[in-house]
Structure 1
């Protein structure tokens, strides 16, 4: 029986629900130890109105680092000055309709030049800004607190070694 490759649309629709999805998350920071976050609009897939680092599903045939670099260019129009793997997390959540999801989040710290950053997907974000770790905006994406509990110290260490 021949194998039929799924379309990118089918894969995107089923990632995290029919099979475990893999996402690369980028925690962008600058020389002043500030994090860049963007507020998700009603046009985003989920977590509407919540502040989010940045992320994108791993594309077939790309390394984790290449995926982060591609997503940074697509979403923010920047190349990282420094890119460092922080760690991974299992992310279990539910969609708005109650469908359970499972993702593996591969977290990266990405030092970027704030003067070069631009929002390329303005329909997906309502607002954006730079924040210190002790003064993050609200409401946050549901996975920020779990990330900070697991990897917050490592992120701080990376950011301080600018």
Structure 2
């Protein structure tokens, strides 16, 4: 291998190239929003409350990625998906520039079927009315929530 060749194991999504992820705000259809507290093992913003999200896999549609991620994170199959918008997330994460394309969804789920599906990434799972959402939120939460709110 020459110096000009790239070792794909060293290439980081969202840093070395634009990452694409799905972001979903799960609700129960009655005004309650499902959030989780990010664990110490998360890539960034540990301890913050956040909606769900994850990177797309090669060959997936946006909707397939949302369904997969919701099942992985919350152990539930979505009742209803609404694609809201697509949004650039360009930010500085502790001195490292990152660029993600976030595909936002409002998703109705059955609250009786929800559980923590990825305990290594989530410390807690809870339902909130919008006016009671904790203040320690992911840095992109409010921007994305404002876009999704009319669809909840």
When normalised by structure 2's length, the TM-score is 0.90
User: Are residues 1:70 and 2:68 paired?
Assistant: yes
Partner of 2:125: 128
Structure 1: which 4+ aligned runs deviate by more than 3 Å? none
List gaps (5 residues or longer) in structure 2: none
List gaps (5 residues or longer) in structure 1: none
1:92, distance to aligned residue in structure 2 (A): 1.3
1:148, distance to aligned residue in structure 2 (A): 3.2
CA distance in 2, matches of 1:105, 1:49: 21
> In the alignment, which of 124, 127, 139 is matched to residue 136 of structure 2?
139
Partner of 1:80: 78
Residue 124 of structure 2 aligns to a residue in which SS? strand
The structure carrying a bigger strand percent of its residues is 2
Aligned residues: 148
When normalised by structure 1's length, the TM-score is 0.85
CA RMSD of aligned residues (A): 1.9
CA distance in 1, matches of 2:145, 2:65: 22
Aligned pairs (5 A) from 1:51-130:
51-96=49-94, 98-130=95-127
User: Are residues 1:157 and 2:134 paired?
Assistant: no
CA distance in 2, matches of 1:139, 1:16: 23
